[in-house]
Structure 1
């Protein structure tokens, strides 16, 4: 049996997750009780398969790969918003996920109501949210839109409020994907300074980006995903070099 993990750790063991290319396809009744690791049916593909690694508390991990290679899917598995078809994902402690532009916000609710809802779902009490609310709004720089329905915000404003809320969560693991690329440069730098502070405080970071500059800024270790498999797990510079050698990708 594997040794227990300390808070802030992640263990991924032989994980696989399967999707359908055709949304109209359905599994039959027999599939509900059959072996989850059965052979792939026509119209299905493995987004990830046989992926294994461990993350220690306080590590900053950069996930590298072309579009469609399973990077965001891996983050969703770690965030526990998806379940694997094979293998096991273990995360010790809570997760603060910024893995989609919505950040889990509800379109028809106001910014104010979304702040209370999202922070509350992640374990903050009403008193804690009351105390942090003004700082959250000030950081997001959207004080004039507090009572505006979330769906009426621009993409950049959605990123601002989502990051501002998620960054206030007292969780040991933070997941960030490409959403910050939507924001303007000045706000993105403010977010990055906040990430630096969280890393200095011992947080674990899982970071997906196509920016070599950002990967090298935050991360010491990289995971290179290719065709649904973990091709390389090593120092971030080695991982970036291997990816560039394979696909001649240059930082934008």
Structure 2
């Protein structure tokens, strides 16, 4: 079925909406996947490039033909196989490749080489601006994002009150979302996205912008997903969250997989690498 977001995966969504029994078994397979980004006119930025490399962990090399293009190697030869029931946490410092991997799984980034196969409807809980219009109201964006996730207008309207209540945004839902803070937009996107139970949930803890009480509320809602979603891929700096939600973990460094295994083993290695 390829690496496409849920709104392009018509059959699983249609089955769920019609109440039919699904025979699809969700799965993720990555074979020798690499992702790189060219940075043009960078010959005068050698100092900046070195700072970027040390700060993000990205590997930067010059293009052999022109020497005016730097190549940021975000992922290198990633091999990963996940099946129904898997809950995997992505760990590593900022720039290790965790978010890039999530975006590849969500169909946002195409790999430069390698093969990506994602079977099952997918909801990505990151990049909150996707499917939202800054000039439209909160209520209008509930409909827009719901359509983005594969729901019909009737189905969205039937969930409108529950979604609005969960956001705790009140009268702000009548205002354009360009007037919202980042945390308020996250609340709105999170509430709509978690009104649909997908086969595969892609989660970046970065969506947790906002006050502690709502973050706790969001985590409780995610726990409700645990028994319903076939596969969860979670990127987080919280060892407590990774340990609580994931049975396995993936440690990344410089866009590569350092270790993939039981959560506590991977976290122990990550602590050792940080000198803890």
Alignment TM-score, normalising by the size of structure 1: 0.86
Measure the CA separation in 2 of the matches of 1:19 and 1:209: 23
Which of 26, 31, 34 is the matching residue for 1:8? 26
* RMSD of equivalent CA atoms: 2.0
User: What does 1:205-220 align with in structure 2 at a 5 Å threshold?
Assistant: 205-220=232-247
| Structure 1 residue runs of 4 or more that deviate by more than 6 Å after TM superposition | none
- 1:188 is aligned to 2:215: yes
Residue equivalent to 1:50: 77
Aligned length: 232
Query: Could you say what secondary structure the match of 1:21 adopts?
Result: strand
Q: 5+ residue gaps in structure 1?
A: 26-38
Per-residue CA shift, 1:50-103, capped at 9, x if unaligned? 000111112211001111111000000000011000111111111111112435
Residue equivalent to 1:153: 180
Q: 5+ residue gaps in structure 2?
A: 1-22, 44-60
Contact 1:175 1:206 in 2 (8 A): yes
Measure the CA separation in 2 of the matches of 1:203 and 1:130: 26
Range moving further from structure 2, 97-106 or 223-232:
97-106
Residue equivalent to 1:162: 189
Which of 61, 77, 80 is the matching residue for 2:107? 80
User: What does 1:63-212 align with in structure 2 at a 5 Å threshold?
Assistant: 63-212=90-239
1:204 deviates by: 1.5
Distance 1:108 1:198, change over 3 A: same
Measure the CA separation in 1 of the matches of 2:148 and 2:73: 31
Alignment TM-score, normalising by the size of structure 2: 0.79
Query: Could you say what secondary structure the match of 1:146 adopts?
Result: helix
- 1:60 is aligned to 2:78: no
Contact 1:58 1:199 in 2 (8 A): no
1:197 deviates by: 1.0
Distance 1:144 1:233, change over 3 A: same
Measure the CA separation in 2 of the matches of 1:133 and 1:248: 48
